[in-house]
């Protein structure tokens, strides 16, 4: 399948056809302006953006470089960034991809070199975005007053720009390809591991990579699992199984998320038909109240159809998505997801609505849902995967 076959709009195909896709100069300027505003409020003179042993994606948001092993980027508005990164064989590509940064090899002492650079610049009060292990944090703290700005970074990622939403459209299209292949090719005799391979083969050739593919299969007559497991077993698919999944293919740092349920060469049992009908009703009820300004209480109340029908959930009902697993993370009345966030939805937030409706005895469940965009008056679907209780074979 070619890029043209993905049925993407020309501007999205143009993004995919780049040698290495890049956001525009205007988009990076927007991000850097926001960083400067955060720094001013926190009264820090420099910012250290961190990826440490593949954890932390602020580096990619600020520079375009995914970070790989380590990256320590010194940022100050109006000045060229300096990045110390690993490993040396990653250095040539980093210099090519990272935007507006003086990229230097960290020589396996990147935090020490970043501290030297901050001292050279006369830094006194340094903000930090991204994870840093305790010994490195203490080394930084020994030379500067350090202010953690991770919460502020999360806030910057909640509302997406139009360019970011376009990249999420690509991630959604790639995720849909994975589900389309899974539905088409699932058959008795394949293992869960082979199902995962089918999913990946659908989008890797288009530049997609895997965020997650949680896939579960269990006999409808005697179900053994109620939520898709995070690791694939050697169990083989059988006729009469139900397969439910949560798939996210990444376009760089921007993934879709599609959650679906289907049967294998068999009609659904009455229990699974009811579970799925309730999940679909919950999805419609929740998305029916979503708009700019929606409160968290409105969303939880809308999902009350789940408890009204005698069921509950295991997975979170809804969560922010797109560059991370973000607020608001919500459960339901019967399975809360911790304290209810003190916030309302905003236009251009992107969230996953995913009612994983299960039986109260935790024996059977379904997955339904997908990534959507919050609009001023409602929501926009970013996925094209068909809804409904589907059937393989």
Q: Using alpha carbons, list the distances in angstroms from residue 33 to 29, 81, 374.
A: 6, 14, 24
Beta pairing partners, 326: 320
> For residue range 34-49, what is the model confidence (pLDDT) as tens digits?
999 999 999 999 999 9
CA distance 220 to 232: 19
Q: Which residues contact 381 (CB under 8 A, 6 or more apart)?
A: 370, 372
**Sheet of strand 81-86, all strands in order from the earlier edge strand to the far edge:** 101-105, 81-86, 70-75, 46-52, 125-129, 145-148
Predicted TM-score (pTM) of this structure: 0.96
- Would residue 365 be called left, alpha or beta, if left means φ above 0 and alpha means ψ between -120 and 50 degrees? beta
From 63, 57, 71, select the one nearest 136 (Cα to Cα): 71
Please state which of the four CATH numbers 3.40.50.1370, 1.10.760.10, 3.40.350.10, 1.10.1370.30 is assigned to the domain occupying 25-158: 3.40.350.10
> For residue range 316-348, what is the model confidence (pLDDT) as tens digits?
999 999 999 999 999 999 999 999 999 999 999
> For residue range 99-157, what is the model confidence (pLDDT) as tens digits?
999 999 999 999 999 999 999 999 999 999 999 999 999 999 999 999 999 999 999 99
> For residue range 378-392, what is the model confidence (pLDDT) as tens digits?
999 999 999 999 999
- The residue behind tokens 């997609």 is 208
CA distance 9 to 18: 15
User: Do you find a cis peptide bond into 320, omega within 30 degrees of 0?
Assistant: no
User: Burial of 159 by CB count in 10 Å (0-12 exposed, 13-18 middle, 19+ buried)?
Assistant: middle
For residue 338, the model assigns a pLDDT of: 94
Q: Is the dihedral of CA 34, 166, 158, 144 positive or negative?
A: negative
How sure is the predictor about 3, in pLDDT bands with cuts at 50, 70 and 90? low
Residue range 12-31: mean pLDDT, rounded = 96
> For residue range 193-226, what is the model confidence (pLDDT) as tens digits?
999 999 999 999 999 999 999 999 999 999 999 9
Q: Which residues contact 308 (CB under 8 A, 6 or more apart)?
A: none
How sure is the predictor about 287, in pLDDT bands with cuts at 50, 70 and 90? very high
For residue 7, the model assigns a pLDDT of: 80
Assigned architecture for domain 162-392: Alpha-Beta Complex (3.90)
CA distance 250 to 247: 10
* DSSP assignment string, 297-340: HHHHHHTTHHHHTT-EESS-SEEEESSSEEEEEE--SSS--SSP
**pLDDT exceeds 90 at position 5:** no
Contact 176, 260 (CB under 8 A): no
Phi, psi of 275 (to 5 degrees): -55, -45
> For residue range 127-142, what is the model confidence (pLDDT) as tens digits?
999 999 999 999 999 9
CA distance 324 to 67: 15
Rounded-to-5 percentages of helix, strand, coil across the chain: 35, 25, 35
Write out the two tokens for 199: 């999913």
How sure is the predictor about 1, in pLDDT bands with cuts at 50, 70 and 90? low
Residue range(s) of every CATH 3.40.350.10 domain in the chain: 25-158
Q: Which residues contact 78 (CB under 8 A, 6 or more apart)?
A: none
CA distance 89 to 204: 23
Residue range(s) of every CATH 3.90.230.10 domain in the chain: 162-392
């Amino acid at each position: 399948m070619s890029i043209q076959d993905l049925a993407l709009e020309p501007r999205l195909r143009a993004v995919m056809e780049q040698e290495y896709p890049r956001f525009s100069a205007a988009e990076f300027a927007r991000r850097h302006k926001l960083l400067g505003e955060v720094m001013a409020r926190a009264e820090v003179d420099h910012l250290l953006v961190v990826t440490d042993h593949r954890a932390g994606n602020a580096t990619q948001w600020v520079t375009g470089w995914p970070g790989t092993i380590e990256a320590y980027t010194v940022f100050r508005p109006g000045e060229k960034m300096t990045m110390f990164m690993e490993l040396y064989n990653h250095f040539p590509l980093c210099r090519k991809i990272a935007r507006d940064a003086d990229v230097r090899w960290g020589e396996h002492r990147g935090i020490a070199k970043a501290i030297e650079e901050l001292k050279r610049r006369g830094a006194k009060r340094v903000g930090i975005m991204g994870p840093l292990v305790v010994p490195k944090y203490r080394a930084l703290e020994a030379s500067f007053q350090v202010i953690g700005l991770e919460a502020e970074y999360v806030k910057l990622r909640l509302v997406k720009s139009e360019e970011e939403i376009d990249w999420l459209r690509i991630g959604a299209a790639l995720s849909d390809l994975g589900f389309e292949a899974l539905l088409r090719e699932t058959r008795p005799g394949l293992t869960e591991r082979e199902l995962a391979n089918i999913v990946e083969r659908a989008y890797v050739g288009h530049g997609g990579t895997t965020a997650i593919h949680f896939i579960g299969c269990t006999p409808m007559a005697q179900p053994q699992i109620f939520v898709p497991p995070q690791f694939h077993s050697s169990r083989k698919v059988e006729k009469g199984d139900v397969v439910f999944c949560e798939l996210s293919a990444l376009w760089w740092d921007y993934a879709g998320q599609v959650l679906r349920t289907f049967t294998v060469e068999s009609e659904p049992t009455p229990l699974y038909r009811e579970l799925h009908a309730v999940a679909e009703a919950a999805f419609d009820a929740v998305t029916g109240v979503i708009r700019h300004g929606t409160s968290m209480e409105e969303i939880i109340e809308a999902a009350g159809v789940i408890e009204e029908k005698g069921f509950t959930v295991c997975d979170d009902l809804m969560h922010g998505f797109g560059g991370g697993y973000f607020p608001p993370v919500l459960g339901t009345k019967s399975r809360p997801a911790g304290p209810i966030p003190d916030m309302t939805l905003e236009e251009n937030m992107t969230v996953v609505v995913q009612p994983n409706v299960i039986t109260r005895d935790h024996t059977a469940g379904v997955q339904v849902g997908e990534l959507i965009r919050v609009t001023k008056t409602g929501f926009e679907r970013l996925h094209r995967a068909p809804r409904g209780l589907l059937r393989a074979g």
